[in-house]
Structure 1
Amino acid sequence: MSRRYAAVDLGASSGRVLVGTIGKTTLEVEEVHRFANEPVRLPSGLHWDMLGLYRNIRQGLAEAGPVVSAGIDSWAVDYGLIDEDGALLGLPFHYRDERTAALPEWSDPAGLWRTTGIADQPFNTLHQMRAEGKRRLEGAAHLLMIPDLLAYWLTGEIGAEHTNASTTQLYGVRGAWSPAVASEAGIDPSILPQVRRPGDRIGDTDLGMPLIAVASHDTASAVAALPAENDRFAYISCGTWSLVGLELERPVLSEAARVAGFTNEAGVDDTVRFLRNVMGLWLLQECQRFWGEYSLGHLLAEAVDVKPLAALIDSQDPAWLPRGDEQGGMPARIAARAVGRTPKTRGEIVRCILESLALGHRNAIAEASALAGREVEAVHLVGGGAQNTLLCQLTADATGLPVLAGPVEATALGNFLVQARADGVVKNLEHLRSLVRETQQIIRYNPHPSAAWDAAAACIEVRS
């Protein structure tokens, strides 16, 4: 008999509530409610509209109908602060807010790396907390990551889910908060909540369903749902960001991995997601926002006939992080920083973005493989980027490896399947992945290697 589960899947530009119907040999997904996730610019900075998100989540869960349980996943690093009475101390900041730019560097970056295994990024929770005002810090009783804040509003239960907590740079590689790091940052360690693991029951909502802790970092959910058959794979969870890496049994804490910009985040069943952040489709999304109503299909058609590798950008340049709100928007920013022939048309800019991302994917996979000592035979590309046929083929060509694209809904599937395992329908991670392989569409892109990619990689520094 099939069982129904609800997934709240929050991305950086939109949110959805989906229903998954799971049986022994079936796995079906239905989207029941979609809504925009637009940041709000206030005098204090760039914030998330948490009240709008909460209202839409409740609406979507109500529309889901009878389900066994629900789970919430979202992006990482952002958080809310709760006082002793349970009140939210201001809207959570957006990770693209620039308030961390002027912070002094951490006194011992190498020691911080050895403790947390997390790449030192200005938007990490640790540094956002260092930038907090004294009044908010003094009034805070609990730090809750975005899924945990929403879970608190739905159930009244306070806690922190393991995979999302691991991204904060306040969490040790052994799977627990680091009071020493918190104290050095001026953060009272008592505000760090008790940790939950994927599959733990959080509590009951007033909507007639229990809430289950899933792998609440969306990339952790996506990686859990990879249709992998062995461990010789790399993955790209491709959306606003491209998260590119390997699934390992233990973290890689070498100095070389730190310098190369890699990070060790927690996955399901104590796996480690050894990965690097590549800027991702954010660049294309910001160009689309500037250009207006041009569909992805229209833009890809314009890019297909453009001369290959004529213009490239460093896809890891920090200049891409802020929104493209200046005159000329993101297209002008790309044209100004391109190496080679300056891209001018929409097709040239799109081609420049996608080829540069493919190079970023290539470099991250090659370096991860070397640093971890893990051979890679194929690349699993999941998320919205799996629908970008040109990017999938370019990634195969750049890496010289077959790209297996799909499922598009990997994050939601991982959310559902962790709930199903807690419900006894799915046995383990291997069973979970086999069910994805048997039921979801996967498209294979075979590589067409060319020396031009080697030359392109040599002419531009792709760094993290």
Structure 2
Amino acid sequence: MLHIAIDIGASSGCLVAGKINNEKLDIQEIHRFSNGFSEKNGTYFWDIDHLLTEILQGLSIVKSLGYEDCTVGIETWAVDYALVGKDGKRLQDVISYRDHRTDNSIEKFAEIISKEKIYDKTGIQFLPFNTIYQLYEENENLLSETDKILMVPNYLGYRLTGKAVTEVTNASTMQLMNVKERTFDLELLEAISVKKEQFANLVEPGTILGTLRNDWFPEFILPNCTIINIASHDTASAIIGTPGEGENWAYLSSGTWSLLGMELKSPVINEASFNENYTNEWGAFETFRFLKNIMGLWILQEVQRNLQDAFSFEQLVLEAKQVPPFQQFIHFDDQRFLNPENMIGEIQAYCQETNQTIPRTVGELAAAVFYNLAIMYAVAIEELEIIVGEKIERLHIVGGGSQNEFLNQLTADLSKKIVYSGPIEATAIGNLLMQLISSGVIDSLEAGRLLVLESFKIKEYQPNAYYNHEVTQRFKEVVSKNKAIL
């Protein structure tokens, strides 16, 4: 049986085929396509119909390769949703989490229910684009007409099968789920004028969604597909595909966003996790992804775009290596870097406002990004050890960012941890592993991770003694001072 992972991120998507050959997982990219949000009348939207068409195009390629039957799993980014009316049609385009409508929503909503109470209920970090704040700012007339609120991967599954569900790993990111009761929190729903019945039933990863309705898409020649509810939040799938063994390891899912944390059996909700804005997202098999959201390579992608794509990532790394380290300390998790009109201008303005050296050359800009991301990773690992009360011995970096050897080594050096990079396609691999477990091909998550170790190249980075602890301490001091200035 062939298994197809549909893996859609903020900038691109792909269909990856997987099957076990000679006790190893073989994967092959079948189809790749672009993704991105666009602006219409001052609002940023995703082209969700484009994504559906590309999924169908990819599945038609599977059919053309001679496969009659397959299983399929869909995962995307979190927090964004589609509003579906009683006639089954979408009521508006899907608004992007990078839209500015929620810029001040956390503070406004905290006047209704305190942040402390929200965190105690949900265990979820405060980000301005969390679904709770998007729905709080949603058009009231549209909400009154809404029959179902479907997270993006569940909406795509609905369009393919006609079956509506709310898969828990993605649902937990909404900041609407009561972590103790494992269901929607009615007080939070009432505060945003949404009813529990407007969400489809909650399902765990590994359950069957339904079969692809080939008859709905006569313009495509498609295989017979069984759609499986995998861990539909891409980070949840990435952690499934992370080859961690035993205990005392952390992960860094590195891409547009950087998600750094640990896989735990129970949530951590205390004063320290609240103050440091750590989150308890739900994982497969009733685990928790205790992690911190860090802005990630979005910063560099935007710098590259502002440079009119004149420099490749490889060239940016080479330019950064020529620059002395730690010329400025920048808190890239500041909301101003979420979606500025010009990232280079925003970085330079931040440095000017905080009386730091202003990066001007390509190398200086790239170095500012790489060195500060590595420091932020090291600081987050230090915080994580304190909050969880466990010593982290090794860090697994997965995703597209795991290819960046310069940043990987910097992370090892600053964190003083052994770093393992790979696999690059951890998200699609985790998607495939859930399909294999659901189909009975492998019997456990542990067996799946061993399969990953056997199947893919993992590179090791030993920490070097180039930088001492004072670097991260200096970063925290400067950032704290700059927060007061700004």
In structure 1, the partner of 2:361 is 345
CA contact (8 A) 1:24 1:425 kept: no
TM-aligned CA deviation for residue 333 of structure 1: 1.3
In structure 1, the partner of 2:183 is 176
In structure 2, the partner of 1:27 is 25
1:250 is aligned, of 266, 271, 278, to 266
Does structure 1 residue 62 correspond to structure 2 residue 68?
Answer: no
The gaps in structure 2 that reach 5 residues or longer are 215-221
TM-aligned CA deviation for residue 110 of structure 1: 1.0
1:92 is aligned, of 86, 89, 94, to 94
SS at match of 2:29: strand
2:229 is aligned, of 201, 208, 213, to 213
Identical amino acids, percent of aligned pairs = 37
Distance in 2, matches of 1:166 and 1:92, equals: 19
Does structure 1 residue 330 correspond to structure 2 residue 349?
Answer: no
1:416 is aligned, of 432, 440, 460, to 432
Worse-matched range after superposition: 87-96 or 312-321: 312-321
Does structure 1 residue 311 correspond to structure 2 residue 328?
Answer: yes
SS at match of 1:60: helix
1:457 is aligned, of 475, 479, 482, to 475
Worse-matched range after superposition: 260-269 or 304-313: 304-313
TM-superposition CA deviations, 1:14-66 (whole Å, max 9, x none): 11111112246211111111111121211151010011111111101211232
SS at match of 1:347: helix
In structure 2, the partner of 1:139 is 145
TM-aligned CA deviation for residue 143 of structure 1: 0.7
Give the residue type in structure 2 aligned to 1:108: S
TM-superposition CA deviations, 1:402-446 (whole Å, max 9, x none): 110100000000000100111111110110100001111111111
Worse-matched range after superposition: 431-440 or 100-109: 100-109
In structure 2, the partner of 1:371 is 387
TM-aligned CA deviation for residue 335 of structure 1: 1.9
In structure 1, the partner of 2:218 is none
TM-aligned CA deviation for residue 109 of structure 1: 1.3
Distance in 2, matches of 1:426 and 1:43, equals: 49
Distance 1:24 1:268, change over 3 A: farther
Distance in 2, matches of 1:411 and 1:374, equals: 26
2:456 is aligned, of 396, 421, 440, to 440
TM-aligned CA deviation for residue 188 of structure 1: 1.7
Distance in 2, matches of 1:226 and 1:102, equals: 35
2:207 is aligned, of 186, 200, 206, to 200
Distance in 2, matches of 1:224 and 1:161, equals: 16
Distance 1:262 1:458, change over 3 A: closer
CA contact (8 A) 1:18 1:64 kept: no
Distance 1:57 1:186, change over 3 A: same
1:401 is aligned, of 387, 412, 417, to 417
Does structure 1 residue 237 correspond to structure 2 residue 253?
Answer: yes
TM-aligned CA deviation for residue 111 of structure 1: 1.2
Distance in 1, matches of 2:347 and 2:42, equals: 28
In structure 2, the partner of 1:283 is 299
Distance in 2, matches of 1:254 and 1:361, equals: 21
Q: Spell out structure 1 runs of 4+ moving beyond 4 A.
A: none
SS at match of 1:64: helix
In structure 1, the partner of 2:127 is 121
Distance in 2, matches of 1:134 and 1:46, equals: 19
Distance 1:93 1:458, change over 3 A: closer
* RMSD over equivalenced CA pairs, Å: 1.6
SS at match of 2:382: helix
TM-aligned CA deviation for residue 68 of structure 1: 2.7
Give the residue type in structure 1 aligned to 2:3: Y
CA contact (8 A) 1:22 1:420 kept: no
Distance in 1, matches of 2:476 and 2:132, equals: 35
Distance in 2, matches of 1:161 and 1:402, equals: 34
SS at match of 2:259: strand
SS at match of 2:251: strand
SS at match of 1:27: strand
Does structure 1 residue 301 correspond to structure 2 residue 318?
Answer: yes
TM-aligned CA deviation for residue 460 of structure 1: 2.6
Give the residue type in structure 2 aligned to 1:69: T
CA contact (8 A) 1:79 1:146 kept: yes
TM-aligned CA deviation for residue 269 of structure 1: 0.7
TM-superposition CA deviations, 1:199-232 (whole Å, max 9, x none): 1000000241110001100000000111111121
Worse-matched range after superposition: 384-393 or 39-48: 39-48
SS at match of 2:302: helix
SS at match of 2:127: coil
SS at match of 2:94: coil
In structure 2, the partner of 1:160 is 166
TM-superposition CA deviations, 1:302-349 (whole Å, max 9, x none): 111211112221121111001x42xxx211211222364221111111
SS at match of 2:174: coil
Structure-2-length-normalised TM-score:
0.91
> How many residues align structurally?
458
Worse-matched range after superposition: 352-361 or 443-452: 443-452
In structure 1, the partner of 2:5 is 7
